[in-house]
Amino acid sequence: MSAATRSRRSASEDADESPPLLRLLDAAEEAGELDVRQVAGALGLDVGALRAALATPAALDRAQREALGAALGIDRARLRALLGPIGLAAPAESPATDDGGVTPPAGARPATSEPDAPPPPRSTAELLERTVLAIDDAAPWGRAARLAVLDAAERGATAAGRAVPRELHALRARVRAAPAPALDEPSAEDGAGAPRPRGPLPPEDVQALDDAVVVIRTLQGACAGYDDLFAPVHDEALEGMLRRFTLAVHDAPLGATCAVVVTPALYGRAVLVRSAQASADQRRVALRTALAHAAAGHVREERPLPAPAPLHERRVAALAALADLVPFWQLAHARRRARLGWSAIADDVARQAARLAGDWPWAWTCDLARLRVALYRRDGL
């Protein structure tokens, strides 16, 4: 890495709000001085996990920090300054982390629990194909979301000064030429949220609550006001969180929906596809859901997150989003001041969630409302 390039980066660090190590990596990649995939491989990570780890450097162990410094061409003193006090406090041997770079607590579901996970993609073209095919074409917005991902990838390549893969154009032609899918009726999964009888929570609900707690704590670390006394978080603060998780928003004609698609990193940024026709409340739901998926490590190169997401991942992300949109202090007020019972509070949360999301099935909304109340009663969140 040239001295002039390092000087330019040092001068611009204060102007950019993204983490300094991430800015340094992006600048080196744009200058053609390194290959991010090779750097990630040297640290034993994929590109998405590397970018998430650079946002929270404490996730890197000593060997990874030394390998990172060598790849970036900076000495230990400079690396120590960029890591900051959090990085210096990291132990020599850190516990195994998920793809989001956050150490999950005991009992949390690992991000790569599938024993048959495919190998990482060999090229950007292969990553694009996996990402596009993970989007359900039978969803009402599936075709538009597939094309939006390809459009965002092409723009990202142009902005990064990279050649657009030929395979991208062929893939776009395949998506457009595919026969129009018959729209499915609401699936049985949409009814998975039917109100449950009183009693102990089933294991799948406990797992959803445990994973949602990890996600909420991670988001609170990225933005102090998330699910706090001043929640919901202001839209401007959400923009800072998007930068921290390296998410680039791409609006597409998906209809009046809060549905969202989150891709792995494409040309340095993960793509967040949301609807251009969504209401302001639906956009708020979509942004928080996408941030929750990113914080939970649901988005991985070797297995892009399907859209719609699997039931468990969808519940965790939606619950983490609802925790900020219907924060704990509202539930506390309803319980202590209004003297409402838990069932009445859950009904009120369901009505608020239905108004915000707009297109959630009612049974699904009731399920999330019940979990939202359980999250407050069990964890105080």
Domain ranges within the chain, ordered by starting residue: 3-88, 200-379
Give SS3 for 249: strand
The pLDDT of 325-353, averaged and rounded, is 89
**332: number of Cβ within 10 Å:** 13
Q: How much is the pLDDT for 192?
A: 47
Q: How much is the pLDDT for 88?
A: 31
User: What is the CA angle 220-226-231, rounded to 5?
Assistant: 160
Residue type, 304: P
**71: number of Cβ within 10 Å:** 20
User: What is the CA angle 138-168-120, rounded to 5?
Assistant: 85
For tokens 């319980």, name the residue.
Answer: 335
**Cα 231 to Cα 224: distance, rounded to the nearest angstrom:** 10
**Per-residue pLDDT for 288 more than 60?**
yes
Whether omega before 57 lies within 30 degrees of 0, making that bond cis, reads no
Q: How much is the pLDDT for 52?
A: 76
Q: Which of the pair, 68 or 78, is modelled with greater confidence?
A: 68
Q: How much is the pLDDT for 113?
A: 43
Range among 13-17, 101-105, 229-233 rated most confident? 229-233
The pLDDT of 141-157, averaged and rounded, is 92
Whether omega before 186 lies within 30 degrees of 0, making that bond cis, reads no
Q: How much is the pLDDT for 124?
A: 86
**pLDDT tens string 194-248:** 455 566 888 999 999 999 999 999 888 887 778 777 778 888 888 888 888 889 9
Q: How much is the pLDDT for 188?
A: 40
**Nearest Cα residue to 259 out of 279, 286, 277, 298:** 286
- Strand ranges across the sheet with 269-275: 247-252, 269-275, 261-266
CB 214 within 8 A of CB 104: yes
pLDDT, the chain, mean = 79
* pLDDT band for position 99 (cuts 50, 70, 90): very low
Q: Which of the pair, 16 or 68, is modelled with greater confidence?
A: 68
**pLDDT tens string 75-90:** 666 666 666 543 333 3
What pTM was estimated for this model as a whole? 0.68
Residue 257: exposed, middle, or buried by beta-carbon count in 10 A (0-12, 13-18, 19+)? buried
Q: How much is the pLDDT for 9?
A: 44
The pLDDT of 276-282, averaged and rounded, is 95
CB 44 within 8 A of CB 67: no
CB 290 within 8 A of CB 260: yes
With b for 16 or more beta-carbon neighbours within 10 A and e for fewer, the 31-54 pattern comes to eeeeebbebbeebebbbbbbbbbb
Q: How much is the pLDDT for 362?
A: 95
Residue 119's φ and ψ, nearest 5 degrees, are -70, 160
